[in-house]
Amino acid sequence: MTTSTDHVALRPGAYADSVALLQVSKDVAAVDGVLAAQVAMATELNREVIAQMGFELPDTTPNDMIVAIRLEDPSRLDAALAAVDAALAAASRRSDGEASVEDPPRTIGRALERGDAGLALVSVPGQYAAVEAMDALDAGRDVMIFSDNVPVEQEVALKRVAAERDLLVMGPDCGTAMVDGIGLGFANTVQPGPVGIVAASGTGCQQLMCLLDQAGVGMTAALGVGGRDLSVDVAALSTKQAMKRLDADEATELIVVVSKPPAEEVAADLRAFAEQLSTPVHFALLGKGQPDLTAAAEGVLAALGREVPEWPRWGEPAATPTAGQLRGLFAGGTLCDEAMLLTQDRLGPVWSNIPLDPAYALGSDLQADGPLMIDFGDDGMTSGRAHPMIDPSLRLDYLARTSRDASTSVILMDVVLGHGADADPAATAAPAIRDAIAAARKAGRDLAVVVACVGTQGDPQQLDRQAAALADAGAEVFLSNAQATRRALSLMGAAA
Amino acid sequence: MTSTHTPADGVVASGVSIFADALDAQAVPVSRVDWRPPMEGTADDLATVATDPLRVDANRRAAEAMMAVQAMIVDVAPASEVLGLEKGQFLHAGPPLAWENASGPMRGALMGAAALEALVDDPEDAEALFASGQSVSLEPCHHRSAVGPMAGVVSPSMWMWVLEDPTDGRRTYCSLNEGLGKVLRYGAYGPEVLERLRWMSDVLGPLLSKAVRGSEPVNATSILGQMLQMGDEAHNRNRAGTLMLMRDLAPAMVNSGADAADIAKVFEFMGGNDHFFLNVAMPACKLALDAARGIEGSTMVVAMARNGTEFGIQTAGTGDEWFTGPAQIADGLYLGGYGPDDANPDIGDSAITETAGIGGFAMATAPAIVRFVGGSVPDALATTRRMREITLAENDRWPIPVLDFMGTPTGIDVTKVCRTGVLPQINTGMAGRVAGTGQVGAGLVTPPAEIFPKALAALAARTRARQS
């Protein structure tokens, strides 16, 4: 049985509120050698509490502060009293915390209540995107949903609500948009002008915008609607809403709808819808038997009565390559599609991770004996890593491997510029292309590299600067993906 | 473009930062959402409820109905009269509870109440009575339009505050506050506890009744608004509210013709009990929240209540169903030699104050008590602002001066709690685990997280049923 020492003292006139004193008591009780401690104002209740702890109390008035400490050993008293003083000082000290800075909003709904933003941009994982997007619609704002893998029934539900409230849902899986001159997602900087684009295809939209900008034709807006909008399930809900928006916009003289060919019933419905609008609508539908994106841009120029320019190209024509295979390495899905469509007419079916014909789906080794094109931006390739427009490493690794493959003859690539994309893609792509050509050369082969560089002079990366750097590395560079593909095919034809 | 709102006004970005960065680069104002995945397993239910066409309007109506209520104190009367409570019937705090699951303080309070009602001579004898279930019954206060702090035990002879919504005559009820320390609501049942309760029934209740009946009805909602400007958050600090109530009732009480010594004793009792007004604040909050009950599609919480074993919530859109989980132990400071091992899990209907947007939700206005968990004044401001992330509205009737008169964050939205994982912050007292102990401390507590996904699942099921 150890003995203990009680220390009870009064501090007449001292005061702290009861909550502060509970904290003081807690701090003092935690001091080494202190068995129990209570520092309290001498109210009836507190006297009772302290008495119950076994302390003997002198007479007090309610304005006295009682310090009651039970020690293992009297020698610990000084340390304990020092702790009382320190804790009381701490209790009366103003908080030294930062002047309170408000925490960031946790939901889009709160962010829209706290500020006056005009639009919401959602890029959370797809299973959570609808809830965030709904916040924007509830606040009467348009929303762009970059997220993919949003369940289609949620997409339909969102778009129905938006249509009822005359709001616009851009997406899900919407990679690009331009509203009021502001680029959203992966977006090129283009001049203002008479064309309003409605796009169910991200890189298809970017290609069209960049070609038109090159031809001196600007845009009022580019409204993405997501790749599924023209499906039977979604029934063009956002496409119609976007067309209505552009129709009501006085600056928009021509509406261009960019999409893969929709289901027949959706297409018929959309054509009928377009006829009710006062603004002419030009459909640029991409697919087998349809004009490519460059031809679509030229169709838009014709509809506006503008001349079709010579589309720019950079670099010396490549040396005739050693015979072999065509390899396409894409970051843009629609650009890959377009290249495959053009290629299959000349070289037959193209192997791909997004094949036109499911029979030509690539295995996980991404190897094939025949023309091959990979979309490195496809969901299957991006899980756990950034999009190739942001992080080039996977695609450039593949470039290096392919260049050492004796069967590779021509490499076709895209480089997509704009806000959101790699700040200087040529900085990594140009050396990789130079090394690829040199590696083939060293092995006694001639390798041709053709690049579609989709961008504008106004882009942060600057089209000219990027294209020149890629050309300097030995690539032939085109603004038009269709022209780049045709050039690659002609090099294949000339190969020996 | 023809949209009223354009991105040039600014863009809210939720998700990967590169797109927000790209907007920064274009000199567009960007508000970045601190998005995190919602509570586990809630993604589908959240999407279902988010796209429920009833939700927005239902929540707006629920919040407006709640905030429009003016709670008037219209009477003080025995529970036997105003609740029809009969001998052997006991009300308790929280969701429904069986004796065998009751915690120490709940048992202690019931045992004391049984002795008060002379069902037993010695409170200790009541254990067998309640265990047998013969001639006694337990029912939540909430099921009788009542609320009770801590154990919340109400028996027929106890006098109740009666609050009324003059627009529709709805009423709510709460017992009279006994003070702190060894009191029935904290599970104490010693002779001094019963003696005080008898005095409350014999003297305090009748005198308050005379005072209330002899005065213009006191507007409790208005007092709440004033006390929030005077450092009370109306859950763990009710000092200003208590004094204002005394001010309003004193003339009629003095004029009641009652014995001057009794009146003095009543004033002494009220003035010496800083929590006296809590038992008015609680039924005022319940009266407001009950106005929002039964609104199909609303995801607003209309009750949070704990019975010492379980924590339960009810929502506006799910009728009288309780969604329950285990009550938590508060994080706080302890009286005397008590420590965390002595504390009972969270107990009491007093979280009705937080449900209505005060208490922990109004922490910013009560800097005097922010040290409950060693917190600072900036923490208190942050707490109130954080609660705004999970609520539907700001109650302009209850402004907080230090937040530039922002209304208290009001109307907890089940979907927002599930989305953010931010749990309602409740200020609470702590009862001793062992029956008969009384209060052991005070602190902060949150509901068990899982009850919100449970409520969400029921809301989603109703949405789906309506759509099929």
The answer to whether A352 and A375 have CB atoms below 8 angstroms apart is yes
Residues 246-265 of A with CB under 8 A from B: 248-249
Sign of CA dihedral B104, B110, B111, B112: positive
Q: Rounded to an integer, what distance in angstroms lies between the CA atom of residue A230 and that of residue A200?
A: 8
Contact A22 B420 (CB under 8 A): no
Res. A353 pLDDT band, cuts 50 70 90:
very high
Partner-chain residue, chosen from A138, A187, A249, that has the shortest CB–CB distance to B2? A249
3-state secondary structure of A327: strand
Same domain for A487 and A424, yes or no, is yes
Least confidently predicted of A355-359, B129-133, B336-340: B336-340
Mean pLDDT of chain A: 91
Q: Would you state the pLDDT for residue A384?
A: 59
Same domain for A274 and A412, yes or no, is no
DSSP state of A186: S
Give the CATH H-level superfamily of domain B56-66+292-467.
v583 domain like (3.90.1700.10)
Is 50 exceeded by the pLDDT of residue B420?
Answer: yes
Sign of CA dihedral B199, B202, B205, B206: negative
Q: How far is B420 from chain A (nearest CA, A)?
A: 6
Q: Would you state the pLDDT for residue A442?
A: 93
Q: Measure the CA angle with vertex A160, ends A158 and A164; round to 5°.
A: 120
State how far the alpha carbon of B418 is from the alpha carbons of B277, B353, B424, in Å.
33, 21, 11
The residue with tokens 């960049």 is A210
Same domain for A184 and A295, yes or no, is yes
Contact A142 B5 (CB under 8 A): yes
Q: Rounded to an integer, what distance in angstroms lies between the CA atom of residue A202 and that of residue A177?
A: 8
Domain boundary among A266, A283, A303: A303
Q: Rounded to an integer, what distance in angstroms lies between the CA atom of residue B256 and that of residue B263?
A: 9
A290-299: pLDDT as tens digits: 899 999 999 9
Q: Would you state the pLDDT for residue A115?
A: 87
For residue A102, tell me if it sits in a domain: no
Q: Which residues of B387-418 are buried (b: 16+ CB within 10 A; e: fewer)?
A: bbbbbbbbbebbbbeebeebbbbbbbbbbbbb
Q: How far is B75 from chain A (nearest CA, A)?
A: 31
Is 90 exceeded by the pLDDT of residue A392?
Answer: no
Domain boundary among A268, A285, A303: A303
Phi first, then psi: what are they for A4, rounded to 5°? -130, 165
Q: How far is B367 from chain A (nearest CA, A)?
A: 11
Provide the residue type at A289 as one letter: G
Partner-chain residue, chosen from B9, B15, B388, that has the shortest CB–CB distance to A118? B9
Same domain for A396 and A295, yes or no, is no
Provide the residue type at B445 as one letter: V
% chain A with pLDDT above 90: 73
Q: Would you state the pLDDT for residue A2?
A: 55
Partner-chain residue, chosen from A94, A118, A185, that has the shortest CB–CB distance to B5? A118
Residues of A in contact with B423 (CB under 8 A): none
CATH number reported for the structural domain that contains residue A87 in this entry: 3.30.1360
Is B333 at the interface with chain A, CB within 8 A? yes
Contact A107 B334 (CB under 8 A): no
Q: Measure the CA angle with vertex B57, ends B54 and B58; round to 5°.
A: 70
Contact A184 B334 (CB under 8 A): no
Same domain for A142 and A273, yes or no, is yes
3-state secondary structure of B79: helix
Query: How does strand B406-412 pair with strand B391-400?
Result: antiparallel
Residues 301-320 of A with CB under 8 A from B: none
For residue A11, tell me if it sits in a domain: yes
CATH 3.90.1710.10 in chain B, residue ranges: 69-283
Q: Would you state the pLDDT for residue A100?
A: 45
Residues 216-255 of B with CB under 8 A from A: none
Res. B9 pLDDT band, cuts 50 70 90:
confident
Res. A1 pLDDT band, cuts 50 70 90:
very low
Sign of CA dihedral B388, B391, B392, B397: negative
Q: Rounded to an integer, what distance in angstroms lies between the CA atom of residue A318 and that of residue A329?
A: 18
Indicate the pTM of the whole model.
Answer: 0.87
Provide the residue type at B94 as one letter: G
Q: How far is A52 from chain B (nearest CA, A)?
A: 8
Is B84 at the interface with chain A, CB within 8 A? no
Phi first, then psi: what are they for B369, rounded to 5°? -115, 15
Number of domains in chain A: 3
Sheet bearing B323-326, strands edge to edge? B323-326, B310-315, B301-307, B347-348
Half-sphere exposure (CA, 13 Å, Cβ side) for A19?
21
- Give A408's strand partners: A325
3-state secondary structure of A8: strand
Same domain for A294 and A329, yes or no, is no
Q: Rounded to an integer, what is the distance from CA B273 to the centroid of its chain?
A: 19
B17-44 average pLDDT score: 92
Is A53 at the interface with chain B, CB within 8 A? yes
Give the CATH H-level superfamily of domain B69-283.
Enterococcus faecalis V583 domain (3.90.1710.10)
State how far the alpha carbon of B431 is from the alpha carbons of A391, A444, B108, B161, B181, in Å.
58, 86, 11, 23, 10
Partner-chain residue, chosen from A26, A105, A147, that has the shortest CB–CB distance to B34? A105
Q: Would you state the pLDDT for residue A61?
A: 78
B251-262 average pLDDT score: 96
The pair of structure tokens assigned to A354 is 């997004």
The answer to whether A106 and A127 have CB atoms below 8 angstroms apart is no
B285-290 average pLDDT score: 98
Report the candidate in B329, B338, B430, B370 with the shortest Cα–Cα distance to residue A19: B370
Same domain for A294 and A386, yes or no, is no
Is B6 at the interface with chain A, CB within 8 A? yes
CATH number reported for the structural domain that contains residue A121 in this entry: 3.40.50.261
Contact A146 B18 (CB under 8 A): no
| Contact residues for A12 (Cβ-Cβ < 8 A; gap 6+) | A61, A63, A64, A65
B71-100: pLDDT as tens digits: 999 999 999 999 999 999 999 999 999 999
For residue A97, tell me if it sits in a domain: no
Same domain for A292 and A322, yes or no, is no
Domain boundary among A271, A303, A335: A303
Residues of A in contact with B37 (CB under 8 A): 125, 128
Q: Would you state the pLDDT for residue B4?
A: 63
% chain A with pLDDT above 70: 95
Size of interface A-B (CB pairs under 8 A): 226
Residues 143-172 of A with CB under 8 A from B: 146-147, 151, 154, 157-158, 161, 167-168
For residue A308, tell me if it sits in a domain: no
For residue A103, tell me if it sits in a domain: no
Is 50 exceeded by the pLDDT of residue A97?
Answer: no
Contact B11 A184 (CB under 8 A): yes
Report the candidate in B362, B31, B43, B19 with the shortest Cα–Cα distance to residue A107: B31
Q: How far is A468 from chain B (nearest CA, A)?
A: 24
Residues 65-94 of A with CB under 8 A from B: 91, 94
Same domain for A242 and A361, yes or no, is no
CB atoms within 10 A of CB A74: 12
Is A458 at the interface with chain B, CB within 8 A? no
A195-199 average pLDDT score: 97
The residue with tokens 């007449």 is A12
| Contact residues for A303 (Cβ-Cβ < 8 A; gap 6+) | A254, A280, A282
Q: How far is B421 from chain A (nearest CA, A)?
A: 10
Q: Rounded to an integer, what distance in angstroms lies between the CA atom of residue A302 and that of residue A287?
A: 21
Is 80 exceeded by the pLDDT of residue B205?
Answer: yes
Q: Rounded to an integer, what distance in angstroms lies between the CA atom of residue B190 and that of residue B183?
A: 9
Is B54 at the interface with chain A, CB within 8 A? no
A424-443: pLDDT as tens digits: 999 999 999 999 999 999 99
Is B404 at the interface with chain A, CB within 8 A? no
| Interface probe, candidates A19, A38, A417, A419, chain B, greatest B C-beta count within 10 A | A19
3-state secondary structure of A144: strand
Residues of A in contact with B336 (CB under 8 A): 38, 49-50, 52-53
DSSP string for residues in B254-312: HTTT--HHHHHHHHHHHHT-TTTTHHHHHHHHHHHHHTTTT-TT--BEEEEEEESSEEE
Half-sphere exposure (CA, 13 Å, Cβ side) for A465?
11
Q: Would you state the pLDDT for residue B18?
A: 85
Is 90 exceeded by the pLDDT of residue A20?
Answer: no
DSSP string for residues in B195-256: HHHHHIIIIIHHHHHHHHHTSPPEEHHHHHHHHGGGT--SSS--HHHHHHHHHHHHHHHHTT
A46-57 average pLDDT score: 88
B156's torsion region: left (phi>0), alpha (psi -120 to 50) or beta?
A: alpha
Q: Rounded to an integer, what distance in angstroms lies between the CA atom of residue A481 and that of residue A214?
A: 14
Mean pLDDT of chain B: 95
Residues 376-395 of B with CB under 8 A from A: 376-379, 381-382, 385-386, 388-389
Same domain for A68 and A172, yes or no, is no
Q: Would you state the pLDDT for residue A263?
A: 86
The answer to whether B422 and B386 have CB atoms below 8 angstroms apart is yes
Least confidently predicted of A81-85, A253-257, B241-245, B419-423: A81-85
Least confidently predicted of A282-286, B2-6, B52-56, B373-377: B2-6
Res. B65 pLDDT band, cuts 50 70 90:
very high
State how far the alpha carbon of A248 is from the alpha carbons of A140, A177, A193, B1, in Å.
18, 18, 15, 8
Q: Rounded to an integer, what distance in angstroms lies between the CA atom of residue A439 and that of residue A448?
A: 12
For residue A100, tell me if it sits in a domain: no
DSSP state of B154: B
Is 70 exceeded by the pLDDT of residue A92?
Answer: no
Q: Rounded to an integer, what distance in angstroms lies between the CA atom of residue B197 and that of residue B184?
A: 8
Contact A182 B388 (CB under 8 A): no
Is A278 at the interface with chain B, CB within 8 A? no
Res. A96 pLDDT band, cuts 50 70 90:
very low
Is 70 exceeded by the pLDDT of residue B1?
Answer: no
Q: Which domain holds residue A432?
A: 313-494
Q: Would you state the pLDDT for residue B375?
A: 77
Contact B51 A161 (CB under 8 A): yes
